[in-house]
Amino acid sequence: MKLTKSIRDVILKQFKAGEALAMEYSRLMELIDVFDDLKEDQTATPQAIRNALKRLCHATDAEIDFLLNVRAQNTPPKITEKQFQAWVRKAALTAGWRYYHTWNSFRSPSGFPDCVMVHAKKRKLIFAELKSETGKVSEQQWEWLLDIQEMRPADKSVDVYVWRPSDMDKIWDLLKGQ
């Protein structure tokens, strides 16, 4: 029995939200692939899977617990705006972007986008407003986003987005340039 797409999505979303330990993406994918193969044996017990992951991948108990717990939950995690912002920052920096976020906007004008990213080699500038899945964009935020969008140069080197955790795959592809 292969690891279902929904469980794989849960694992990847938790990883992207920073809740999957300090595991590298490639390491996570390696463990998922071995986990998939082990789950094909429907008679395999959780202890047998644990032992095989330790033997084949030198997996730690924490990594194995993460995989087994996500499999048991089979529900997507709730990601706060703060967690999402941390993920976007990490993704941007990993992909070679410069990243800016106003940490304390107490005396700043209302509505300015949450983050600004620039990649000189790609000649791209991104303004992004980050929201939880249910978060609403305020009137002031829309005004900023629309004004920035209106000022976009003809070469489209400036992009404006409202991003939610459900956009993580698209965000990663955009930042990596795929």
Q: For residue 33, which amino acid is it?
A: D
Residues 24 and 48 in one domain: yes
Per the CB < 8 A criterion, the answer to whether 90 and 16 are in contact is no
Residues 67 and 131 in one domain: no
The more confidently predicted of residues 117 and 43 is 117
Residues 97 and 68 in one domain: no
Handedness of CA 66, 69, 74, 76 (dihedral sign): negative
Q: How many domains does the chain have?
A: 2
Average pLDDT, the chain: 78
Q: How many CB atoms are located within 10 Å of the residue 13 CB? A: 20
Residues 89 and 166 in one domain: yes
Query: Which tens digits make up the pLDDT trace of 28-70?
Result: 667 777 777 776 766 777 788 778 888 887 877 777 777 766 5
Q: For position 92, which CATH number holds?
A: 3.40.1350.10
Question: Domain range for residue 69?
Answer: 5-73
Token pair of 14 as six digits: 């938790």
Residues 61 and 86 in one domain: no
The more confidently predicted of residues 26 and 166 is 166
- Is the predicted pLDDT of residue 15 greater than 80, yes or no? no
